Structure 1
Amino acid sequence: MLLSTSSAADATRPNIVLILADDLGFGDIGCYNPRSKIPTPNIDRLASQGLRFTDAHSPASVCVPTRYSLLTGRYSHRRPNRNGSFNAGALIDEGIVTLPAMLAKAGYRTDMLGKWHLGFDFTSFDDALAGGPVDRGFASYFGVPASTDIPPYFFIEDDHAVEAPTAMIDEHHSEGVRNIQGAFYREGKIAPGLKLPEVLPTFAERALARIEENAKSPETPFFTYLALTAPHTPWLPAKKFHGRSSMRAEGVPPALADYGDFVANVDDIVGQVLDRLDELSIADRTLVIFTSDNGPTWYDDDAELTGHDSAGPWRGMKGDVWEAGHRVPLIIRWPAHVPADETSDALIGQVDFFATLAALVGQKLAKETAPDSHNLLPVLLGHDGATGRETLITQSSQGVLSLRKGSLKFIPHLGSAGFSEPKREKPTPGGPTVQLYDLANDPGETTNLAGERPNVVAELTALLERLQTAERTAP
């Protein structure tokens, strides 16, 4: 039986497990792309038991601004500094109510495992790493400061380094792929006891242990945020996953095929989490969210070479203002509450997790809290007539914003504004200086309508400017 919004908040509060993959493509998963060359039986199982969204978006097409928006319910352009270096200062200002802080107020135990990438107020490795997860709403944290291709490389427990990064590691690249693909990582400091291939399985083990520990106190619901470091570079699948995908073929560089095996590794971790929930007999009272922070590092010629289109039907890749940069998989399961084995084309953003979960647990938000987060709980619960957003802003790696209004997409820029070429395109004489697409008829963003619809361009230009400067864009 589907619950109404009010009765959902009154029901026993579910545990919440949020799994955030890193640089996973829309087309990598079987339930989104039947032609995928990567087996993803566990994510597919989750989709068969839950609601799969086809028009879901990360707030940005790169890591840092997405994570900021997801945890604050604020559009990423409200925090212009996108540098997530561990010692560049905490990006979430003290005093901002975060998603875990809101859930803690509602009586949840809140834990984070994995990639933070939102900076710390760093002084020294002998001191607490202030401004991180445990200072922004989480009761516990075990993870790494950023991606495992960005030094320094070290584990953090709560607010202290497990082992200071005192050794050095040389920069590494793989043959046959671009510099930002394969087993790529940068030169820098590393904790002597840390091995990069062991980071991902360590997070999985820690997450399972934390869920098991929390399950011992069923009177206290828990929120577990598992921010994976995969399939972001370095592509380091565990040995048992080598050859798991069908991308290994003559002419395909082994380092490129490693990506498929790494995605299979991610799928296995999702399966471990689902299995542990079953073993603990708490699956029925646990809401599971699976998504990715942005699109994949996968070029058009990678798709041609391997026969696998990580971006799916969308244009571009990670970093881009085009769809493949920010249209991401999103699957949500909550047995007997969220419709099972169904698909939703509602427009939704990860920025909406905050208000939606607040409604679920019965927390009223102050006007200044999560100002860009929409409550889409009726969509999640499958209510008749429930609709998604009407407008949504996303951001490219170069900070260029795009605006969705219905099926229309407006980009005040020519080019990808990200990783794909051309990143910036000069307008032709008398030609358009912006991009406008109708995704209902042109999902691949192949036909720029800006020159044909100047009135629409003017309307959306004004709307984007208004939304950018508004104190609050959510109802």
Structure 2
Amino acid sequence: MNHCISSLFLSLVILTALPVGGHAADPADSSKQLNFVVFVVDDLGYMDIGANNSECFYETPNIDRLADSAMRFTDGYAANPVCSPTRYSLMTGKYPTRVRATNFFSGKRSGRFNPAPLNEHMPLEDVTVAEMLKSKGYATFFAGKWHLGESEEYYPQKQGFDVNIGGHRIGGPYTGNKYFAPFKNPEMEVESPAGDHLPDRLARDTVRFIEENKDRPFLAYLSFYSVHTPLMGRPDLVKKYKQKAASIDGAEFAEEEQVLGNQVRKVRVLQKHAVYAAMVEAMDEAVGKVLRELDDSGVADDTVVIFTSDNGGLSTSEGLPTSNLPLRGGKGWVYEGGIREPWIIRYPGVTPAGSESSEPICSIDLFPTIAAAAGVEVGHDVDGVNIRAALEGKSLDRESLYWHYPHYSNQGGIPGGAIREGDFKLVERYEDGRVHLYNLKDDIGEQHDLADTMPEQVDQMRRRLHAWYQTVDAQFLQPKDGLVPWKPE
């Protein structure tokens, strides 16, 4: 039996519980401006936290306690199945396809065809969430993974952040001793003592920023390098999880469809990787350290806390460290395992403690939601929406969510697009134009293709998806060796 069959099938009824905090910290009825703490965990899958998965192999007590005091979204998404595009959407509220930032920077792998043209930085003219809040007098802080530009002119301090600890061009902790000091990170002015652990270092810097700015409004954006490869864990935690894994039986891997070449691609179906588990728990400890500081500084009741990831868990490549089951696929795939994310939001005075919402939300929604909470009128177009209604337990007035990934991922995922409307999700393959239709309410694992039996639904959703392609100027696979890929009319 799969060790990680989820609590995803829990009731999707919004729970009614008391809100956290002693008062409603809301610009509408409070003179005090809200603070914002954003946690973005790299490569963390939906099923990788206990709050989403009652049988999770990894232990995440701090994140679970956050969920107990907040609203947990069962249908929260990343805007893309890999990192840089989703990070762009979190920063700007826009679909990354608009600026051709559709793969990690710089992912230009070819397959049967050449990939779509790729922009490799977040344009400086885009307004970031930090620039927006800075214009209202906020102190702004960034720590961790950036991966939104190839040179210093595109780094966090050029995009509205007063402080940048560790954010630069690369997508992982690949300098120095990687997850252990000395880090030799070019954006860390002060080196850690030998053996210091990166997630804890980033948390301490975040805590210090909160201590120093508790008397003014602030944005603290902690973007972990964890739990991205290289797979490296604290020895004490690795030992703990090796002992825990020894008692778990069952097949760890199964076969997944293969897009690149003829080799068999495996997918992890059982959470049992001790090193990855150690990385998850260390990240959870770092989250707990920051949350405790909000309490100790007396600002928890005035701070909106947002916890999410940038893409699905890594299940089909690079060590196959986690299982996303019952979700299909993982990082690099437009199946649910690649785009459905942990989303936990604690908005004092608004979100009932321990509540749950099945409203589909996406990383494009972060910017407009923070803007509204801070009382900032957004003076330009964004794709996301203010999800305040969902945070209050109501429905969102949004017709569709879209995905566009015209690339061959490191993880073997299909170049493709997708649209979700209500319970239905349409997946379109870019090599040949084939489509698949799934009812996510009945088939969260995307195993039962309804395309042949529901042609009207397919036609309606496909026309809307193609109209969106035009709106965002979507680019597609390019010819290779005389072969011409499918392209929407």
Identify the match of residue 141 of structure 1 among 140, 151, 164.
164
Q: TM-score, normalised by structure 2?
A: 0.75
> Structure 2 stretches of 5 or more lacking a match?
1-17, 108-117, 179-183, 254-270, 409-414, 474-489
Instruction: For 1:249, give the aligned amino acid.
Output: A
Matched residues in 1 for 2:24 and 2:461: separation? 34
Describe how 1:5-44 pairs up with structure 2 within 5 A: 8=28, 11-44=31-64
Cα drift, residue 78 of structure 1: 1.4
**Cα distance 1:200–1:439, how it changes in 2: closer, same or farther (>3 A)?**
same
CA contact (8 A) 1:379 1:388 kept: no
The letter of the residue matching 1:258 is V
CA spacing shift, 1:238–1:4, aligned 2, 3 Å: closer
Q: Could you tell me how far 1:4 is from its partner in structure 2?
A: 10
Equivalent in 330, 333, 351 of residue 320 of structure 1: 333
What whole-Å deviation, never above 9, does each CA across 1:22-45 have from its counterpart, x for those lacking one?
A: 111211211111111111111110
Match of 1:131 among 154, 167, 191: 154
Q: Give the AA of the match of 2:297.
A: L
Q: Do 2:155 and 2:167's aligned partners in 1 also have CA atoms closer than 8 Å?
A: no
Q: Which aligned runs of 4 or more in structure 1 are off by greater than 4 angstroms?
A: 1-7, 149-154, 193-197, 250-255
Contact 1:402 1:411 in 2 (8 A): yes
* Structure 2: distance between partners of 1:406 and 1:196: 49
Q: Deviations over 1:99-132 (max 9, x none)?
A: 1111112221111000000113x3xxxxxx2121
Match of 1:359 in 2: 372
Amino acid aligned to 1:207: T
Residue 337 to residue 83, structure 1, CA distance change in 2 (3 Å): closer
What residue is the counterpart of 1:80 in the other structure? 100
* 1:276 partnered with 2:293: yes
Report if the CA contact (8 A) 1:204-1:269 is conserved.
yes
2:128 alignment partner AA = T
- Conservation of the 8 A alpha-carbon contact between 1:69 and 1:76: yes
**How much is the aligned-residue C-alpha RMSD, in angstroms?**
3.3
Q: Indicate yes or no: 2:130 matched with 1:100.
A: yes
User: What is the aligned residue count?
Assistant: 406
Please say if residues 348 and 389 of structure 1, whose CA atoms lie closer than 8 Å, have aligned partners that are also in contact.
no
Counterparts of 1:67 and 1:320, CA distance in 2: 17
1:199 aligns with 2:198: yes
Match status 1:392 vs 2:406: no
1:69 and 2:66 matched: no
Q: Which amino acid aligns with 2:200?
A: P
- The sequence identity of aligned pairs, in percent, is 33
Measure the CA separation in 2 of the matches of 1:101 and 1:149.
26
SS, match of residue 55 in structure 1: strand
Q: Pick one of 226, 233, 241 that aligns with 2:229.
A: 233
Return the alpha-carbon distance in structure 2 between the equivalents of residues 5 and 277 of structure 1: 14
CA distance in 1, matches of 2:37, 2:443: 35
Match for 1:56 among 54, 72, 76? 76
Matches within 5 A, 1:332-411: 332-368=345-381, 371-380=382-391, 382-383=392-393, 385-387=394-396, 389-396=398-405, 398=408, 400-411=416-427
Q: TM-score, normalising length from structure 1?
A: 0.77
Alpha-carbon spacing, 1:400–1:79, altered in 2? closer, same or farther (3 Å): farther
Contact 1:9 1:361 in 2 (8 A): no
The answer on whether the counterparts of 2:27 and 2:34 sit within 8 Å (CA) in structure 1 is: no
Relative to structure 1, the CA distance from residue 468 to residue 195 in structure 2 (aligned partners, 3 Å threshold; closer, same or farther) is farther
Match of 2:147 in 1: 117
**Residue of structure 1 aligned with 2:302, choices 285, 289, 294:** 285
1-structure distance, mates of 2:402, 2:24: 29
1:197 deviation in Å?
7.0
Matched residue of 1:54: which SS?
Answer: strand
Whole-Å separation in 2 of the counterparts to 1:240 and 1:31? 24
- 2:280 aligned to 248, 256, 263, which one? 263
* 2:329–2:337 CA contact under 8 A, matched in 1: yes
In structure 2, relative to structure 1, the CA distance for the partners of 1:469 and 1:27 (3 Å cut) is same
